[in-house]
Structure 1
Amino acid sequence: MSGADEIAALDFASVTPEEFARLVKGLSAKEISEIAEDSTLRARVLKEVFGRMERQFKPDVAGSLEALIRWKVTGQGTTPEAVYETKITGGTCTVTEGRSDAEPRVTLVMGDADFLKLVSGNSSPVTMFMLRKVKIVGDVALAAGLTRYFDIPKA
């Protein structure tokens, strides 16, 4: 069974963030491409990852932070770009799918593979930026510190 098949067979509700991180770490670039090219599976994975952001948010660390973060996960081939927004305000984090009319404090643009590696703790955001695997528009300092506001698993 390929890594993409393993991801497709997952019952996301029963998978811990650590288990997901280990699965992502074990995926080859080809397997991540297979996930990205399967629009139904890609949508499931993105929805689950962004849905968990609210639960993995650390309000005590965020304090009085007020920010709208826009995430653009670029598609490949015929796969369209996916856009999500994370709003941090009043010690809470809410995630919505799609682009709002609000002006984000920072926008992060990256491909599917780099997004999965970032959110699963399998890649350093600073390294990704330096290697131009993630494009940051807006508050670079906020982007650099984003990982501290979430309980990101380690594989």
Structure 2
Amino acid sequence: MANSVRDELAGLDFAAVSPEEFARIVKGLSTREIDEIMRGELRRRVLGEVFRRMERQFRPESAGSLDALIRWKITGESDVVYETTIAGGTCTVREGRTDAAPRTTLTMGDADFLKLVSGNANPVTMFITRKLKLAGDIGLASGLTRYFDIPKA
């Protein structure tokens, strides 16, 4: 089953998939299926597109004067780090870790990350069940979802 899903996803142009469609795709997959297909080039493409969309789905009116660096550590086949900077009413994303100190760091596996950003998981439940690990400003982390338009599947 995972190979046919992987083949189907590998053929997708993720830039052309709406956030709502992406949420439906993630909702239809089990954690095991996501973990099985999030390997190699497909993983890099999916994570890259999710983080690119953060800039477009940012809600500056909700962030107000927030100034924060958020580090995302996605574990799986290998650890991948992205950083989101919210400052001056804008959101910028970069792949990789800088020397700057983040206000908060979120660490989670591939499946949990995709479920979170697609609106298919509750961040509080993920934290309580230790699927989401936080370091730094927990208050900032707990409010992150309000700064982005998160689709509903």
How far off is 1:62 after superposition? Answer: 0.3
User: Quick one: distance in 2 between partners of 1:139 and 1:9?
Assistant: 39
Deviations 1:80-136 (A, max 9, x none): 100000000000000000000000000000000100000000001011001110000
**TM-align CA RMSD:** 1.0
Whole-angstrom distance in 1 between the partners of 2:67 and 2:118: 24
* Matched residue, 1:117: 115
Equivalent position of 1:73 in the other structure: 74
1:57-72 alignment runs, 5 A limit:
57-72=58-73
Q: Partner of 2:80 in structure 1? A: 82
| Counterpart residue number, 2:5 | 3
CA distance in 2, matches of 1:5, 1:28: 16
- The two structures have a TM-score, normalised by structure 1, of 0.94
Superposition map of 1:35-46 within 5 A: 35-36=37-38, 38-46=39-47
- Identity between Structure 1 and Structure 2 (%): 72
Give the ranges of 4+ consecutive aligned residues of structure 1 lying more than 4 Å apart after TM superposition. Answer: none
Q: Secondary structure at the match of 2:143?
A: helix
The aligned residue for residue 105 of structure 2 is 107
CA distance in 1, matches of 2:40, 2:66: 34
Q: 1:3·1:23 contact (CA, 8 Å) conserved in 2?
A: no
Q: Does 1:17 align with 2:44?
A: no
- The residue type equivalent to 1:138 in the other structure is G
Unaligned runs of 5+ in 1: none
Per the TM alignment, residue 35 of structure 1 is displaced from its structure 2 partner at its CA by: 2.1
Q: Give the total of aligned pairs.
A: 151
Supply the distance in 2 between the matched residues of 1:13 and 1:97 (Cα, whole angstroms).
Answer: 17
The CA distance in 2 between the partners of 1:35 and 1:43, in whole Å, is: 11
Distance 1:3 1:126 in 2: 29
Specify the code of the residue in structure 2 equivalent to 1:45: V
Task: Report whether the alignment pairs 1:97 with 2:98.
Answer: no
- Offset, 1:13: 2.0
